Every structure is written in C-alpha cells, then in structure tokens.
Amino acid sequence: MASPLHILNTVFGFPGFRGQQAEVISHMVDGGDALVLMPTGAGKSLCYQVPALCRDGIAVVVSPLIALMQNQVAALTQLGVRAAALNSARSFDEAAVIERQMRAGELDLLYVAPERLVTPGFLSLLDQCRIALFAIDEAHCVSQWGHDFRPEYLQLALLHERFPAVPRIALTATADGPTRKDIAERLGLGDGRIFVAGFDRPNIRYRITAKKNAKEQLLRFLEAEHSGDSGIVYCLSRAKVEEVAGWLTDKGYDALPYHAGLDQSVRAANQDRFLRDEAVVMVATIAFGMGIDKPDVRFVAHLDLPKSLESYYQETGRAGRDGLPANAWMAYGLEDVAKLGQFIASSQASDTQKRIERQKLNALLGLCETTRCRRQVLLEYFGESGAPPCGNCDICLEPVASFDGTELARKALSCVYRTGESFGAGHVIDVLLGKDTEKVQRFGHNGLSTFGIGAELAAEEWRSVLRQLVAAGYLSIDVEGHGAFRLTETCRPVLRGEIRVDLRRDPLPAKAKAKTATG
Ligand code: ADP
Ligand code: ZN
C-alpha cells in the first residue's frame, strides 16, 4: 500500500500535510470513523482523497452541490485520479457507463448526491463493489442546527448499518458545539474521532462595546485606527445601510452602500470599487460578503448584532485574510437583542427552529457580556478548547473588573417585578433612579418600593447591569410585549438572595463618570 505522504507528493504534488491532515488521514487509512471540523480553505478534501487512494476499492463521497462535485472531479481527473460524479446532471447513458466502471473496480472516487445514494438500486450496486470509505461532505446538512438542513442527509445513517466495516468520515466548516453533537448522533459517528482545528484567526483583534450612539462610536473608531483603510460595516436593515453610508460620505469617507434592494448593476459596481480601490468602506447588509475574496480588508464593524456566533465568526472572518493585523469591532445594545428576538418570533419557522435560533442568539450574548477572553469563548463554541487567553481582544488588553453585583441584580429584578414585567430598559431605569417622568406618574410608579432605590448608579451603568442579566438568562425580553423585560425561573434564587451574581464593571463613558463623581 502506498503511504499517504507518497500519494500527497506524487499525485497531488504537495510537499507536506497541513494542520491535522496527517492525523486524520492515518486514522482513516487504518479504518476508523472521523468527524472533521475545519474552516473553509483548511484542506478538508485531502482528508478523504488521500485515504481513498491508499485504501483498496472505491471511495464514495456524498456531496449536496452539483457544481462542487464537478469541480472536484475535474481537478482530480487533471491529476490522473479516476474520479466521476453521479447526479441529476448525468444522462442515463453516462450514468450507465459510470456504474459499469464501478463494478469493474475502475474508479478511485465517486461523488454522489445524497438522494441518489440512498436509493435501493444504488445501494445494491454498492453491494457489488469494494468500498474504500464513505465521505460525507458538508455534514452540517444533517443537523437542524446548521443553516442548510437537508432531510435526505438523515438517511445517511443507514450506511453504517448496511456497510458496518467501511470507515466513514464526515466533514464540515460550520459546526458549533450543538451542531457537532447533532452530526455525530444522527450519522451514528458516536465512536469516531473528532478532529477540530484551525478556527483561530490570530491577527484579528476582537472588540465589543456597549452601544450608545453607534454612528458616532463608529466614526471615532475609524478616525482613530482606520483612515485610508478598506473595511466593511454591517447593518441589519437596508434603510440603515443607506443612512450610515450617506453619513460616512458626509464625514469624508469613501463609503458605498450594498444591500439586496439595490439595482443589480449598482451592487456590481459598488462591489467592484470595493475590490479594486483602496480605502473603500462598504456599508452593507449580510447580503454582502459571500465569495468576496479581498485579502486586505482591515476592519469589519458591526453596528447591529449578527444573528449567531457562526455569523459573527464568518462576517468578522472577512477581515485580515492577508494575515496582517485587522480589527473586528462591534457596538451592541439591548434594543438589538429585542429586535432580533422579534425577527425570530415573527418568522415562519417551526417552533423547534425558533428555539434553536433563540439559543444561538443567547450564545452570542454570552460572547458580548463575557468577562473572559473573547477568542477563548469563540473558539470553545467551535469546539477548540484549551487555548490560552489571546492577548489580542479588548478583554485581554483591558481586563474588565468584576464585582459582587448581587444587590444590584436584586434591585433591578425587583424593579422589573414591581412594574409588572411590562416595561423595557428606559422606564425600568427611570424608576430605579427615582425620576419623576410623565410615564412614572401615569403608572403611579413613584409610589413603588423600588422607586429611587438605584440612585447609586448612572443610567448607563444600569443599562450594563440589565444587559448582563439578560445575557445570564435572569431576564428575558418579551418580544410580543414591545421588548418588556420578563423574569425567568432562574432569577428566583437571586431574588431570594440565595446565589451570588458577579457583574462586570463596564468602562464608563465620560458623562456617567462625572455623574457618579458628583454623586
Ligand atoms: P476546504 O474543503 O477545507 O475548504 P480544500 O480541500 O478545498 O479546503 O483545500 C483548500 C486549498 O488548499 C486547495 O487549493 C488545496 O489544494 C490546498 N491544500 C490543501 N491541503 C494542502 C497541503 N497539504 N499542501 C498544499 N496545499 C494544500
Ligand atoms: Zn483575548
């Protein structure tokens, strides 16, 4: 049997393996099952292509995308590897030729669409072949946690039952903790080894800051660190994209808008300028970025929360592809959380799907409100644990002090309770501070026991406390009730004083500082 390295050198023309390729490949060659999680571009294909050539028989690769299959087959054929693809693009005659080659043992790799693979006819064809391995590409399609769930992937579990002796490898670039678990379970890969690697982007500096006046904050960030740089500013809505792009242009930046509501020709022209010229700031919705390969994007800024940690990772990942220092900067506030919550609630998705989306949003909040290294939190979500604090995120650079915030938490939670769980941050803070507003009078909230019990903090600081209580799950935001806070079950022991709540002390804005200083 040819050694993996020999195949890599002679067939693929590469001098050595990258990252964990060698480990994965030797595990496969020995007949083990594996789940491989690596970001796009890390070199997942070789993880099954090399073992396919080392082992006897044909490797069967399940892939959901016809275009992708054709590319792979073309590339392999170029290298002299005997590869073919069976999918709906094949004529009956073409398919018959491929099937004959399979029976005769004349193919090393076969790419096949999942719906084809699980047909009785194809399975009995496989019974007549010697199979080297099964590779399941884009394995996140088997999970409802991923964003491209494909029901036909669920049936792939039968491969294991029907061909128990054939090793299987599942590969994906998008797998957070829950998706990974789901993939392993649904494909029956429970005993296989999991290989996770390469999600870190060490040159990206992560920073997340509380949103006050987002546009001004963005401007200060750009002025301080990115004059003359290319970058992307992500916003949630088309209207906001237009507004921010116009505003940055007024401030002297070469800013262009990009969203799905723009004319195709305008979008193409703006994208072109971004790719070609230096120092273009693209203000965009998430419609922008797929397949954009510009190495010198120096910053990605988020003026609104992305919808999950995967989205955050993917969007910020467009910065610094050249490996030089780059910034991922985000301003977020409770309004964002309420807004995204509303999107989820009002979508057409099933209840299960909505629950998943909410959990994803919560994981993102966890990143926003963490007192730990942001990179550690991010990498752990993608299954890479054990990394040391990175030294290149806001928290590593300016460690946040945490303090016993139990009393503050109790005050805030009681105030939410006393005001009937019917109000958002603005009013709850007014009551805490003892402000005699029109609304306070209208609801008689100046007569509550919690009226004015929070005068020791500035409004800004209460906002931070409330955000942290939401992120910790003590408060939820009722999206059907206009963003009112609701108490959750888990907050009872806090109210009863049975558990301690640690809070982070956010850096104070100048105004709030002055206020606390003067009492
Ligand atoms: P993925 O599927 O993880 O997105 P690919 O398998 O398409 O990544 O590989 C990305 C690129 O890296 C390809 O051009 C591939 O040829 C190249 N590549 C992968 N492994 C190696 C290696 N060991 N040495 C050199 N180039 C490699
Ligand atoms: Zn860090």
H helix or E strand, kind and range, residue 2 = none
Whether residue 246 contacts residue 220, with contact meaning beta carbons closer than 8 Å, is answered with: no
What's the confidence (pLDDT) of residue 507? 61
| CA 386 to ligand 2 center in whole angstroms | 13
Alpha helices in 128-200 (DSSP H): 151-154, 158-162, 177-186
Average pLDDT across each block of 10 residues of the chain; the chain has 519 residues. List them in order.
Answer: 92 92 96 92 93 97 90 95 92 94 96 94 95 96 83 91 95 84 89 88 96 95 96 97 98 97 96 94 93 90 94 93 94 90 89 87 92 93 88 94 93 96 95 96 95 95 93 86 86 92 73 42
pLDDT for 221 equals: 97
CA-to-CA distance for 205 and 201, rounded, in angstroms?
A: 9
Nearest to 448, CA basis, from 433, 466, 438, 462: 433
Q: For residue 462, what pLDDT is reported?
A: 95
**Helix, strand, or coil here: 91?**
coil
Q: Ligand 1: which atom is nearest the Cα of residue 15? A: 24
Closest by CA position to 171, among listed 271, 59, 282, 92: 59
Q: Are 497 and 459 in contact (CB under 8 A)?
A: no
DSSP 176: -
Are 15 and 9 within 8 A, CB to CB? yes
Whose alpha carbon is nearest atom 24 of ligand 1?
14
Which residues sit opposite 330 in a β-bridge?
208, 302
Three-class SS state of 286? coil
d(CA 189, CA 35): 8
The total of other beta-carbon atoms located within 10 Å of residue 500's CB is 11
User: Hey, which residues does 171 pair with through a beta bridge?
Assistant: 36
Could you report the per-residue pLDDT of 364-414, keeping only the tens digit for each?
999 999 989 999 999 988 888 888 999 999 999 998 888 999 999 999 999
Q: Is the whole-model pTM more than 0.90?
A: no
Q: Output the CA 466–ligand 2 centroid distance in Å.
A: 24
Is the CB of 314 inside a 6 Å radius of any atom of ligand 1? no
Structure tokens given for 415: 């105030």
Which atom, in ligand 1's list, is nearest to the CA of 45?
6
Q: Is 257 helix (H, G, I), strand (E, B) or coil?
A: strand
Q: Convert the pLDDT of each residue in 327-348 to its tens digit.
A: 999 999 988 988 888 888 888 9
User: Under a CB-based contact definition with an 8 Å cutoff, are residues 469 and 425 in contact?
Assistant: no
Q: How far apart are CA 270 and CA 258, in angstroms?
A: 7
Q: Please, are residues 282 and 288 in contact by the beta-carbon 8 Å criterion? A: yes
Provide CB contacts within 8 A for 474, sequence distance 6+.
409, 413, 487, 488, 490, 491, 494, 501
Which ligand neighbours the alpha carbon of 378 most closely?
Answer: 2
Whether residue 25 has its Cβ less than 6 Å from ligand 1: no
d(CA 428, CA 485): 9
Q: Can you read off the two tokens belonging to residue 482?
A: 């206009």
- The CA distance from 298 to 308, in Å, is 22
- Is residue 9 within 6 Å of ligand 1 at its C-beta? no
Which of 92, 145, 87 has its CA nearest to residue 112? 87
14 lines ligand 1 (CB under 6 A): yes
